[in-house]
């Protein structure tokens, strides 16, 4: 049963990546990469908070998309909120804006995310802006900062 759920979750992640690549293939490469990283981070955290993944599995997955202080902060948050009920993300739309890449390979910019959430009082919408920084680590771009503005 757990293996089947894990396979389904992995298939969903792959479908999201393929969808993102197909739909946004014409956008800037950095924008596309950042959008994929943020999407994966959201899905990984959502799976953990809704008890679909273990802490160890979540940590391994987070290591593929983020590093440095962001990763450290997320480890702390995972432990703090593991026994609490958090609102469920029904859907979200993301716009990446103001992307800049430095000569050192650091990518930064802002992301606007329109969240469709479900909580104890029903479905509601929230818009939020975030600042992000991503850097190359072992040849892969990873998020190092993701902070609500």
At residue 11, the pLDDT reads 47
Q: Where are the domains of the chain?
A: 2-148
Cβ within 8 Å of residue 19, ≥6 positions away: none
Cα distances (Å, whole numbers) of residue 54 to 18, 19, 49: 25, 26, 10
- Closest to 134 measured CA to CA, from 47, 50, 67, 59: 67
CB count, 10 Å around CB of 126? 12
| Average pLDDT of every residue of the chain | 83
Which range has the worst mean pLDDT, 18-22, 49-53, 83-87, 103-107? Answer: 18-22
Which tens digit of pLDDT belongs to each residue from 92-131? 999 999 899 988 889 999 999 999 999 888 999 999 999 9
Fold of 2-148: Nuclear Transport Factor 2; Chain: A, (3.10.450)
Cα distances (Å, whole numbers) of residue 52 to 8, 47, 56, 129: 11, 5, 12, 27
Q: What is the pTM of this model?
A: 0.75
Does 13 have pLDDT greater than 70?
Answer: no
Does 16 have pLDDT greater than 90?
Answer: no
For residues 134 and 86, what is the distance between their CA atoms, to the nearest angstrom?
27
């Amino acid at each position: 049963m757990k293996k089947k759920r894990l396979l389904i979750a992995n298939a969903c992640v792959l479908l999201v990546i393929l969808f993102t690549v197909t739909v946004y293939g014409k956008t800037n490469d950095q924008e596309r990469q950042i959008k994929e990283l943020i999407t994966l981070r959201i899905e990984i955290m959502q799976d953990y908070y809704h008890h679909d993944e273990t802490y160890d599995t979540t940590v391994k997955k987070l290591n593929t998309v983020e590093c440095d202080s962001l990763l450290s902060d997320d480890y702390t948050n995972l432990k703090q909120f593991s026994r609490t009920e958090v609102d469920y993300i029904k859907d979200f739309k993301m716009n990446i804006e103001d992307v800049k890449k430095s000569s050192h390979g650091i990518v930064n910019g802002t992301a606007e995310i329109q969240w469709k959430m479900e909580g104890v009082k029903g479905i509601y919408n929230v818009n939020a802006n975030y600042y992000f920084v991503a850097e190359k680590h072992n040849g892969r771009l990873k998020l190092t900062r993701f902070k609500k503005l």
